[in-house]
Amino acid sequence: MSSLARVLEELGKYEHPFFEFAAHEKDDGVELCIRSKMASVLSPEYRITLAERDLQSSQFPWTFQKLLYDCLTDYIVELFTKNPMTG
């Protein structure tokens, strides 16, 4: 299974009412992209590159879940700190 296929398989296990997830190959691994489903959001997406060594780990499903939740938290914090209406 390719690294991209592995990430897409894991992403298929998750859905969120406010965010959508995507992945594509990048030179040094796979880039994960989180986008808001709300058109009025100022920061349109959050990106992180997953290294090939991490993608091949036997613990990948568990580390990916933690990484996805950590990225969502970071993205939400970014949304609130960059939004001039929130202070």
For the chain, the structural domain boundaries read 3-86
Torsion of CA 70, 48, 54, 74, to 10 degrees: -10
The pLDDT confidence band at residue 38, using thresholds 50, 70 and 90, is confident
Alpha-carbon distance of 36 to 38, in angstroms, equals 5
Please determine, for residue 42, whether its predicted confidence score (pLDDT) is greater than 70: no
Q: Exposure of 37 by Cβ count < 10 A (0-12 exposed, 13-18 middle, 19+ buried)?
A: exposed
The pLDDT tens digits for 60-79 are 999 999 999 999 999 888 87
